[in-house]
Amino acid sequence: MKKLVILLFLSQVMLWSCSTSTPTNEVSATLDLVNVSNDKVKVVVKPAAFDASTITFQVPKIIPGTYALQDYGRYIEDFKALDKDGKTLPVTKKDVNTWVITDAKKLDHVEYLVNDTFDQEVVQMSKNETVAFSPAGTNILKGQNFYLNLGGFVGYFENQQEKPFVLTIEHPKDLTGTTAMVDEDTSDTKDVFKTTRYATLIDSPIMYAKPDISTFTIDDMEVVLHVYSPRNTKVTSKFLMPALQKTMIAQKEFLGAINTTKRYAVLVYLTARTEDDAQGTGALEHNSSTTGTFEDDMQATGLEHTISHEFFHTLTPLNVHSKEIQFFDFNTPKMSEHLWMYEGFTEYFSVLFKTNKRMANEQALYDVIADKINFASTLYSDTMSLTEVSKNVVDPVVNKQFGNFYNKGTLAAMCLDIIIREKSNGKRGILSVMGELSKLYGAEKAFKDEELIPIFTKLTYPEVGVFLQNHVVQNKPIDYGSYLAKVGVSLKKVKVPVQMAFSLGTTTYFKVDSKTNKVFITTLDGKNEFLKAVGFQDNDEIVDLRGIKPEGPDSGKLASILAFNLKDGDDYTAKVIRKGKTIDLKGKVKLNQVDGNKIEFTDASKAKLKDQWLYN
């Protein structure tokens, strides 16, 4: 038996030696999640065959879906380039994400250590540094959790992004890895994943944790939900699954034959928001999966809302996307001018399908539309070209308008839908046109940015092209009322409550001490009815709101949340320190009122087209 083991060992060594000395046409990477030291993971990346004396290795500066700088190179240390004998080769670090290797014809592989982003968020916040978006981040917690957005671990060699990629992950036996990829190894301590190119790998996150996993199947699509919740044992995959299943069944029915996804992974990380944990919450879409970081007291509706948006990205940009997305440059990206469509259409479908599938009534849809009209004109510029914002979204100034894709972008999709319904006598809509585009292009074929609008117009009607030119390419504000009137819906100006009680217009009525994270009431001007009703005064230090202390590095955000989505007349309590004395405050909520919009169905003569818009 010992002899057999030795022979097997020697044969493995020989195979490994041959593989490291023979050039291949694939890039391979290995992550060691077992031998983790000082909260760092060792990564080895071996290039495909190349013939150059110098080669560059990079990790992403930016990844699709975030449209903001991540700079994963900040988390890499002890970078080495080695020949097949283990001797180091000369390396120059060109910038935060780039290493240049000389004498590269001798290169066998590079290796380095990776720190996780979650550990760094609080420190980066305190230094006003760029913080990686938590759902796009990484976690390394030995023996417990590895949250792998792979852009934070695996880099690429120049001119090899389109090569096949093999990823091997050594992991503890009791941790299960969940991903939309298929594990091609039967071992319970090693996973092997193969992708056709680097971009597909980066689009395929993995989470390793104890197996709190639930699965279900819709038609021929398998959905897997993996939850990591170390503190709140009540929030499990079984707890979240019913809401997720209900939502995704309705979405799959809404999309019909357009959706061809075979496996979809939902990776949920519940943060305790301690100093070494994720501070941000939200989700990041991938073509066949969603990564999400949530508060550990989350409700199932939180995941339902997230998936309502993220799953529709399987339509766009998965099946309808530009060359800028297909061949994304992870370090010097040229952004697509149709980002407004990827996010705006997706958000529109996430709103529409709930009414279409009777999960919400019509008025609920109208209320969401009214809110988006309010936000588009008050929180963002209504006179900026959506295509220009899309192309320049990585510019910090322009990036402030990114959120308008979920408002004006959604509303533009709605108007296009109504135009198409009207011109086709209700037979077609924006979803059916996207289905035609997905057949024309699909996951493997990209359009040129400049050809999308002409093709979209050709597939529909001249009026669609006029709308796109006027309100998407150019910067003309949209008269939403005129489009809603086509389906019998009226838009009128009314006073609406401000849901964020500590804000009014452009004024925020509190400040956070950057050194202590203490929150203080400030800039009282007599206009904020909520603050007057509860009894706040200038320079009050907030001790607690509704029994919860707004403290820690995210104290300002927590204070905002504790004064959000309130109802007029409800009791509200607070505790403050005023001139050295602790004072209890109690009052009735009085929300501030501002000019807004109210939408209702009022013209019964348009009921048929309205129903075709909402239910066909």
User: Are 424 and 357 in the same domain?
Assistant: yes
Q: How far apart are CA 352 and CA 413, in angstroms?
A: 11
Q: Is the pLDDT of residue 19 over 70?
A: no
Number of domains in the chain: 4
Model confidence over 593-606: pLDDT tens digits? Answer: 988 889 999 999 99
456, part of any domain: yes
182, part of any domain: yes
310, part of any domain: no
Looking at per-residue pLDDT, the higher value among 506 and 260 belongs to: 260
User: Are 446 and 467 in the same domain?
Assistant: yes
- CA separation, residue 441 to residues 319, 321, 337, 436, 505 (Å): 7, 8, 17, 9, 44
Q: Is the pLDDT of residue 555 over 80?
A: no
Which residues, 6 or more positions from 386, have their beta carbon under 8 angstroms from its beta carbon?
Answer: 340, 344, 404, 405, 408, 409, 412, 471, 472, 473
507, part of any domain: yes
User: Are 253 and 162 in the same domain?
Assistant: no
Amino acid symbol at 133: F
User: Are 288 and 324 in the same domain?
Assistant: no
Q: Is 291 helix (H, G, I), strand (E, B) or coil?
A: strand
18, part of any domain: no
359, part of any domain: yes
Report the first-to-last Cα separation within the chain, whole angstroms: 68
Instruction: Quote the mean pLDDT of the chain.
Output: 91
pLDDT band of residue 554 (cuts 50, 70, 90) is low
Domain coverage including residue 33: 27-131+141-205
Asked whether the beta carbons of 338 and 452 are under 8 A apart, the reply is yes
Of the residues 205, 239, 260, the one at which a domain ends: 205
User: Are 81 and 146 in the same domain?
Assistant: yes
Q: Is the pLDDT of residue 295 over 70?
A: yes
Per-residue confidence (pLDDT) for residue 21, from 0 to 100: 46
Per-residue confidence (pLDDT) for residue 126, from 0 to 100: 66
Asked whether the beta carbons of 229 and 290 are under 8 A apart, the reply is no
**Strand 289-295 versus strand 263-271 pairing type:** parallel
Of the residues 167, 188, 205, the one at which a domain ends: 205
User: Are 519 and 564 in the same domain?
Assistant: yes
Of the residues 149, 173, 205, the one at which a domain ends: 205
The CATH number of the domain where 577 resides is what? Answer: 2.30.42.10
Per-residue confidence (pLDDT) for residue 15, from 0 to 100: 40
As given in the structure block, the two tokens for residue 346 are 């997706």
410, part of any domain: yes
Which residue do the tokens 């129903």 mark? 611
Per-residue confidence (pLDDT) for residue 468, from 0 to 100: 98
569, part of any domain: yes
Which residue do the tokens 């009026």 mark? 463
Q: What does the pLDDT average to over 212-219?
A: 96
Q: Is the pLDDT of residue 315 over 60?
A: yes
Model confidence over 454-507: pLDDT tens digits? Answer: 999 999 999 999 999 999 999 999 999 999 999 999 999 898 888 788 888 778
- CA separation, residue 504 to residues 371, 523, 529, 546 (Å): 16, 11, 10, 21
Q: Is the pLDDT of residue 84 over 70?
A: yes
The CATH number of the domain where 432 resides is what? Answer: 1.10.390.10
Q: Is the pLDDT of residue 342 over 60?
A: yes
* DSSP conformation class of 43: E
As given in the structure block, the two tokens for residue 23 are 């050039």
User: Are 432 and 463 in the same domain?
Assistant: yes
User: Are 401 and 513 in the same domain?
Assistant: no
The CATH number of the domain where 278 resides is what? Answer: 3.30.2010.30
Q: In DSSP terms, which residues pair with 593 in a beta bridge?
A: 497
User: Are 116 and 252 in the same domain?
Assistant: no
Q: Is the pLDDT of residue 321 over 80?
A: yes
Q: What does the pLDDT average to over 326-330?
A: 94
User: Are 125 and 258 in the same domain?
Assistant: no
User: Are 361 and 431 in the same domain?
Assistant: yes
User: Are 226 and 172 in the same domain?
Assistant: no
